[in-house]
């Protein structure tokens, strides 16, 4: 056990929902809603997985991802990205930035759990 996930998201209700789901799966969940300190949080917490929202106050999810990928490869640190915009160009940008998995809000809970499992087993 001891799997940790860092959830970078600014909507309190969504944070709560994801925290509920992942806790049940046995994850330890850290959260931050401030984009500008997100990378610092990752360095500090060294999570097994990062769940990253695209639209964040302070810094966009893509920028955070690009910064992370300079330090952490996709093998070391899988990143699951969430977006509420759901346009195809967002997916392209995320792929280029080095995302591991891309999900559009709203998602089903099972979909989320399945994605987290898949990423953690790699």
Q: Which residues bind another protein (CB under 8 A)?
A: 10-11, 13-14, 16-18, 20-21, 55-58, 84-87, 104-110, 112
Report, in Å, the least distance between residue 49 CB and another protein. 18
Residue number with CB closer to another protein (16 or 114): 16
Report, in Å, the least distance between residue 106 CB and another protein. 4
Which residue is it, tokens 């969940």?
29
Residue number with CB closer to another protein (16 or 71): 16
Please confirm whether the linkage preceding 54 is cis (ω < 30° from 0).
no
Report, in Å, the least distance between residue 21 CB and another protein. 7
Residue number with CB closer to another protein (70 or 110): 110
Residue 41 in contact with residue 30, Cβ under 8 Å? yes
Residue number with CB closer to another protein (76 or 84): 84
Report, in Å, the least distance between residue 87 CB and another protein. 7
């Amino acid at each position: 056990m001891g799997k940790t996930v860092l959830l970078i998201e600014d909507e309190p209700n969504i944070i709560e929902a994801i925290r509920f789901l992942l806790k049940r799966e046995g994850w330890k969940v850290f959260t931050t809603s401030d984009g500008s300190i997100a990378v610092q949080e990752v360095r500090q917490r060294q999570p097994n997985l990062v769940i990253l929202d695209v639209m964040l106050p302070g810094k966009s999810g893509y920028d955070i991802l690009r910064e992370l990928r300079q330090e952490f490869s996709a093998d070391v640190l899988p990143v699951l990205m969430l977006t509420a915009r759901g346009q195809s160009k967002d997916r392209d940008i995320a792929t280029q930035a080095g995302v591991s998995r891309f999900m559009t809000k709203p998602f089903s809970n099972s979909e989320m759990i399945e994605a987290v499992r898949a990423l953690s087993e790699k």
